[in-house]
Amino acid sequence: MGHYYYLVAGLANLDSDDGRPQLSLEDFRKEVFPQVSAADRCLLEMPLVECDCHRLAAFLTDGLIPESMPQGLLSSASLENAVEQAKSGENRPDEILPFMWNFLVGYFGSENREGVVDRLLSVFYEYAMNAGNTFVSDWYAFNLNLNNVRTAIAARKYGLDIQNLIVGDNETANQLRTSGARDWGLSGNLDFFDELLRIHDEQDLAKREHAVDYLRWRWLEQNSFFSYFTVESLFSYMERLSMAWRWNSLDHDGGEAILRGLIGELKGQVKVPDEFGND
């Protein structure tokens, strides 16, 4: 494991109550990525790989990648070319990770084209949770559980079938799919569960999103506290920097757009209930 004393020491302080960050994500990556080992760079690139999965899912679903979607490691042209090559049975392009290629090959080899976002995210989380770094693996396991519980709360509120909406195959995912209990039997198993339920009672959608991100921020701070000057410290900083920029641009309309996007991804072809707009 590498130690990056001067690199970490030179980063501007980040606080969850700060306003506009001093450092952009692009500048962080330009400064940090060239100075870390190849193995550590792969870990720091994991959030970009997740962006690529969302962009790929958008192309498979809608036939285009919106310009508004965050940029990942790969260009839109690379993702679109990979789709065409997988469809025509060609070999995997070097820039496409094996798990993404295997997904594409399976996707075009099957008649089932439903739920592409959830299916692609499932294989991404499996990839990320086997990253070979305990901190990064635990971070994605935490996010998988957090996002799945949020999905379950929304699905229950809008009367949706939860079975096909939950991502992954870990203990929490299976509990959400099978339990009929009010708390899905999770209140004693997930330390954030009760707090997340209280957060979802918040009517202001921007405040709700901010509060959920604060759960993530706190997890990153607590779990990287003793990882001085390591890639874990850099990863924690990068993810918190991403949240800080998100908060800087998030207003009420932004919060509503995020929730509408969440519900849309949950339901796919299912119509949003009319009362949603009055939530």
Does residue 152 carry a pLDDT above 50?
yes
Is 61 contained in some domain? Answer: yes
Is 3 contained in some domain? Answer: no
**Segments forming the whole domain that contains residue 100:** 47-128
Burial class from Cβ neighbours inside 10 Å (0-12, 13-18, 19+) for residue 99 reads middle
The whole-number average pLDDT for the span 151-171 is: 91
For the chain, give the number of residues: 279
Q: Which pLDDT value is given to residue 251? A: 52
Is 223 contained in some domain? Answer: no
111-123: b (≥16 Cβ within 10 Å) or e = eeeebbbbbbbbb
The whole-number average pLDDT for the span 40-68 is: 95
Greater confidence, 251 or 174? 174
pTM above 0.95, yes or no: no
Is 56 contained in some domain? Answer: yes
Greater confidence, 277 or 183? 183
Is 74 contained in some domain? Answer: yes
Q: Which pLDDT value is given to residue 267? A: 44
Range with the poorest average pLDDT among 98-107, 193-202, 262-271: 262-271
Does residue 137 carry a pLDDT above 60?
yes
Does residue 170 carry a pLDDT above 60?
yes
Report the alpha-carbon distance of residue 132 to residue 232 in Å, rounded: 12
Q: Which pLDDT value is given to residue 14? A: 85
Is 229 contained in some domain? Answer: no
Q: What is the 3-state secondary structure (H, E, C) of 186-251?
A: CCCCCCCHHHHHHHCCCCCHHHHHHHHHHHHHHHHHHHHCCCCCCHHHHHHHHHHHHHHHHHHHCC
* Structural domain count of the chain: 1
Is 96 contained in some domain? Answer: yes
The whole-chain average pLDDT of the chain stands at 88
Is 62 contained in some domain? Answer: yes
Does residue 201 carry a pLDDT above 50?
yes
Q: How many CB atoms lie within 10 A of CB 11?
A: 18
Share above pLDDT 90 across residues of the chain, in percent, rounded to a whole number: 68
Q: How many CB atoms lie within 10 A of CB 228?
A: 13
